[in-house]
Structure 1
């Protein structure tokens, strides 16, 4: 697959992924600890980190969006 995620986009996705994983597992907030919200935040965080690592976003591919130069 061709890379379609640029550098700034990768950094923002990585930061968002780390923040969501921290929120899910280390924040201690009662709203997140209680149930499904914890696992949704964790799943989205893992997906964001994965997209940042491989530089390919499936939704960008479907929509024809590219944030990288090459």
Structure 2
């Protein structure tokens, strides 16, 4: 499992994931906010399975 997510992409995924989870916990968007776990996890692990299938890499050093 090689990294395929670059720094900017990683940062945006983590921020969006945390915002969605936070909105879900506060009751603003309900259970759908838990979908934020997906971008949060892909940002933390620096690997996106969809990017791997499509052959996309936003990581310059990889």
Runs of 4+ in 1 over 3 A off after TM superposition: none
Aligned equivalent of 1:49: 40
1:57: how far off?
A: 0.1
- Number of equivalent positions: 61
Q: Deviations over 1:4-46 (max 9, x none)?
A: 00000000000100110011111x43xx3xxxxx22321x211
Can you give the 5+ residue segments of structure 1 that lack an aligned partner in the other structure?
33-37
Work out whether 1:40 is the aligned partner of 2:23.
no
Q: Secondary structure at the match of 2:51?
A: helix
TM-score normalised to the size of structure 2? 0.88
Can you give the 5+ residue segments of structure 2 that lack an aligned partner in the other structure?
none
Distance across 2 between alignment mates of 1:10 and 1:39: 24
Greater Rg over alpha carbons, structure: 1
